[in-house]
Amino acid sequence: MSTPNALNQVASLTNQFLIAMPNLQDPNFEHAVAYVCEHNAQGAMGIIINRPMKTQLGEVFMHMGIESVAAHINEQPVFEGGPVQPERGFVIHLPAGEWESSLTISEDIAVATSTDILTAMANHQGPENALVALGYAGWGAGQLEDEILDNAWLHGPSSSDVLFRVPSEQRWAAAAALLGVDLNLISSQTGHA
Protein backbone atom coordinates (compact mmCIF):
# COMPACT_ATOMS: atom_id res chain seq x y z
CA MET A 1 0.00 0.00 0.00
CA SER A 2 1.55 3.27 -1.09
CA THR A 3 1.76 6.12 1.38
CA PRO A 4 0.66 9.52 0.01
CA ASN A 5 3.82 11.30 1.14
CA ALA A 6 6.24 8.48 0.29
CA LEU A 7 8.23 10.60 -2.18
CA ASN A 8 8.69 13.21 0.54
CA GLN A 9 10.01 10.50 2.87
CA VAL A 10 12.62 9.38 0.32
CA ALA A 11 14.20 12.13 -1.76
CA SER A 12 14.84 11.51 -5.44
CA LEU A 13 17.18 8.57 -5.87
CA THR A 14 18.24 9.48 -9.41
CA ASN A 15 22.00 8.83 -9.82
CA GLN A 16 22.11 6.61 -6.74
CA PHE A 17 22.60 2.92 -6.17
CA LEU A 18 19.87 0.64 -4.88
CA ILE A 19 21.43 -2.26 -3.02
CA ALA A 20 19.29 -5.31 -2.34
CA MET A 21 19.21 -6.24 1.32
CA PRO A 22 20.17 -9.86 2.14
CA ASN A 23 16.53 -10.64 3.02
CA LEU A 24 15.28 -9.68 -0.48
CA GLN A 25 14.51 -13.11 -1.95
CA ASP A 26 12.90 -12.07 -5.27
CA PRO A 27 15.07 -13.89 -7.86
CA ASN A 28 14.95 -10.81 -10.09
CA PHE A 29 16.65 -8.71 -7.40
CA GLU A 30 18.46 -11.02 -4.97
CA HIS A 31 21.91 -9.48 -4.30
CA ALA A 32 21.30 -6.91 -7.04
CA VAL A 33 22.76 -3.44 -7.38
CA ALA A 34 20.67 -1.15 -9.54
CA TYR A 35 21.78 2.22 -10.85
CA VAL A 36 18.76 4.55 -10.61
CA CYS A 37 18.33 6.42 -13.89
CA GLU A 38 15.10 8.17 -13.03
CA HIS A 39 13.01 8.60 -9.89
CA ASN A 40 10.06 10.94 -9.47
CA ALA A 41 6.44 10.97 -8.29
CA GLN A 42 5.42 8.69 -11.19
CA GLY A 43 7.87 5.94 -10.23
CA ALA A 44 11.44 4.84 -10.77
CA MET A 45 13.61 3.17 -13.38
CA GLY A 46 16.96 1.52 -12.75
CA ILE A 47 19.43 -0.79 -14.44
CA ILE A 48 20.99 -3.73 -12.60
CA ILE A 49 24.78 -3.46 -12.93
CA ASN A 50 26.06 -6.66 -11.34
CA ARG A 51 24.48 -9.47 -13.35
CA PRO A 52 26.56 -10.26 -16.44
CA MET A 53 24.89 -12.51 -18.97
CA LYS A 54 26.69 -15.17 -21.00
CA THR A 55 26.19 -12.87 -23.99
CA GLN A 56 29.13 -10.72 -25.05
CA LEU A 57 28.85 -7.34 -26.74
CA GLY A 58 30.24 -8.74 -30.00
CA GLU A 59 27.18 -10.99 -30.24
CA VAL A 60 24.93 -7.96 -29.88
CA PHE A 61 26.86 -6.15 -32.61
CA MET A 62 26.52 -9.17 -34.90
CA HIS A 63 22.78 -9.50 -34.17
CA MET A 64 22.30 -5.81 -35.02
CA GLY A 65 24.44 -5.95 -38.16
CA ILE A 66 27.12 -3.66 -36.71
CA GLU A 67 30.63 -4.44 -37.89
CA SER A 68 33.11 -4.18 -35.05
CA VAL A 69 36.84 -3.55 -35.20
CA ALA A 70 37.21 -3.40 -31.42
CA ALA A 71 38.18 -6.89 -30.21
CA HIS A 72 38.36 -5.97 -26.51
CA ILE A 73 34.93 -4.30 -26.69
CA ASN A 74 33.47 -7.37 -28.41
CA GLU A 75 34.42 -9.41 -25.33
CA GLN A 76 32.68 -7.14 -22.82
CA PRO A 77 29.76 -8.81 -21.05
CA VAL A 78 26.20 -7.65 -21.57
CA PHE A 79 24.31 -7.25 -18.29
CA GLU A 80 20.84 -8.39 -17.30
CA GLY A 81 19.48 -4.92 -16.55
CA GLY A 82 16.18 -6.07 -15.10
CA PRO A 83 13.00 -8.02 -15.79
CA VAL A 84 11.17 -5.29 -17.74
CA GLN A 85 11.57 -5.28 -21.55
CA PRO A 86 14.57 -7.67 -21.62
CA GLU A 87 14.82 -7.21 -25.39
CA ARG A 88 15.55 -3.46 -25.02
CA GLY A 89 19.15 -2.28 -24.75
CA PHE A 90 20.62 0.43 -22.55
CA VAL A 91 24.13 1.85 -22.44
CA ILE A 92 25.19 3.55 -19.20
CA HIS A 93 28.17 5.66 -20.20
CA LEU A 94 30.74 8.19 -19.08
CA PRO A 95 31.29 10.85 -20.31
CA ALA A 96 27.70 11.74 -21.13
CA GLY A 97 28.38 12.89 -24.73
CA GLU A 98 25.85 13.60 -27.46
CA TRP A 99 23.90 10.58 -28.72
CA GLU A 100 20.59 10.38 -30.60
CA SER A 101 18.58 9.05 -27.66
CA SER A 102 20.19 9.75 -24.33
CA LEU A 103 19.04 10.60 -20.82
CA THR A 104 21.51 12.66 -18.79
CA ILE A 105 21.67 11.32 -15.24
CA SER A 106 24.47 13.47 -13.79
CA GLU A 107 27.14 15.86 -15.06
CA ASP A 108 29.20 12.89 -16.22
CA ILE A 109 26.89 9.92 -16.71
CA ALA A 110 24.05 9.30 -19.16
CA VAL A 111 22.03 6.36 -20.46
CA ALA A 112 21.63 5.93 -24.20
CA THR A 113 19.17 3.71 -26.02
CA SER A 114 20.07 4.46 -29.64
CA THR A 115 22.23 2.39 -31.98
CA ASP A 116 24.60 5.27 -32.77
CA ILE A 117 26.46 4.77 -29.48
CA LEU A 118 26.88 1.03 -30.17
CA THR A 119 28.19 1.76 -33.67
CA ALA A 120 30.65 4.25 -32.20
CA MET A 121 31.78 1.72 -29.58
CA ALA A 122 32.33 -0.91 -32.28
CA ASN A 123 34.63 1.55 -34.07
CA HIS A 124 36.68 2.74 -31.04
CA GLN A 125 34.79 6.05 -31.04
CA GLY A 126 32.42 5.46 -28.15
CA PRO A 127 32.50 6.74 -24.61
CA GLU A 128 35.51 6.02 -22.42
CA ASN A 129 33.41 3.88 -20.04
CA ALA A 130 30.25 1.99 -20.92
CA LEU A 131 28.06 -0.75 -19.47
CA VAL A 132 25.55 -2.38 -21.85
CA ALA A 133 22.43 -3.97 -20.37
CA LEU A 134 19.30 -5.64 -21.68
CA GLY A 135 16.12 -4.81 -19.79
CA TYR A 136 15.53 -2.61 -16.79
CA ALA A 137 13.90 -2.56 -13.37
CA GLY A 138 10.80 -0.42 -12.96
CA TRP A 139 8.66 0.66 -10.04
CA GLY A 140 5.26 2.37 -10.10
CA ALA A 141 4.38 5.47 -8.12
CA GLY A 142 5.28 4.92 -4.46
CA GLN A 143 6.33 1.28 -4.98
CA LEU A 144 10.07 1.78 -4.53
CA GLU A 145 9.52 4.03 -1.52
CA ASP A 146 7.39 1.32 0.09
CA GLU A 147 10.05 -1.33 -0.64
CA ILE A 148 12.71 0.88 0.98
CA LEU A 149 10.48 1.41 4.03
CA ASP A 150 10.00 -2.39 4.16
CA ASN A 151 13.80 -2.77 4.36
CA ALA A 152 14.17 -4.46 0.96
CA TRP A 153 16.72 -1.94 -0.35
CA LEU A 154 19.55 0.26 0.85
CA HIS A 155 20.14 3.35 -1.21
CA GLY A 156 23.18 5.55 -1.42
CA PRO A 157 25.56 7.45 -3.64
CA SER A 158 26.66 5.99 -6.94
CA SER A 159 30.29 5.68 -7.96
CA SER A 160 31.76 5.51 -11.45
CA ASP A 161 34.42 3.15 -10.06
CA VAL A 162 31.75 0.68 -8.93
CA LEU A 163 29.83 1.14 -12.20
CA PHE A 164 32.75 0.64 -14.56
CA ARG A 165 35.85 -0.70 -12.81
CA VAL A 166 34.93 -2.94 -9.88
CA PRO A 167 34.42 -6.56 -11.06
CA SER A 168 30.71 -7.32 -11.33
CA GLU A 169 30.78 -10.03 -8.65
CA GLN A 170 32.12 -7.47 -6.14
CA ARG A 171 29.68 -4.61 -6.92
CA TRP A 172 27.02 -5.59 -4.34
CA ALA A 173 29.51 -5.41 -1.47
CA ALA A 174 31.35 -2.42 -2.97
CA ALA A 175 28.16 -0.36 -3.35
CA ALA A 176 27.18 -1.08 0.27
CA ALA A 177 30.71 -0.24 1.42
CA LEU A 178 30.19 3.29 0.05
CA LEU A 179 27.66 3.61 2.89
CA GLY A 180 29.98 1.98 5.42
CA VAL A 181 27.83 -1.18 5.43
CA ASP A 182 29.21 -4.73 5.39
CA LEU A 183 26.37 -6.83 3.99
CA ASN A 184 27.99 -10.00 5.34
CA LEU A 185 27.18 -8.78 8.84
CA ILE A 186 23.46 -8.37 8.10
CA SER A 187 21.27 -11.40 8.62
CA SER A 188 19.05 -12.54 5.78
CA GLN A 189 16.55 -13.75 8.36
CA THR A 190 13.69 -11.53 9.43
CA GLY A 191 11.76 -11.92 12.60
CA HIS A 192 10.56 -10.30 15.76
CA ALA A 193 12.32 -10.05 19.06
Summarised one tens digit per residue, pLDDT across range 142-183 is: 999 999 999 999 999 999 999 999 999 999 999 999 999 988
- pLDDT at residue number 117: 95
Domains of the chain, earliest start first: 6-185 (3.40.1740.10)
For residue 16, give the amino acid letter. Q
Report the candidate in 167, 161, 153, 135 with the shortest Cα–Cα distance to residue 23: 153
Q: What is the signed CA dihedral for 161, 32, 93, 66, rounded to 10 degrees?
A: 130
Asked if 166 and 8 count as a contact pair (C-beta separation under 8 A), the reply is: no
- Dist. CA 107–CA 61, nearest whole Å: 28
- pLDDT at residue number 193: 42
Task: Tell me the C-alpha to C-alpha distance, in Å, between residue 158 and each of 35, 44, 59, 61, 85.
Answer: 7, 16, 29, 28, 24
pTM: 0.89
Report the candidate in 136, 179, 185 with the shortest Cα–Cα distance to residue 157: 179
- pLDDT at residue number 188: 58
Q: What is the mean pLDDT of the chain?
A: 90
pLDDT per position as a tens digit, 70-111: 888 999 999 999 999 999 999 999 988 788 889 999 989 999
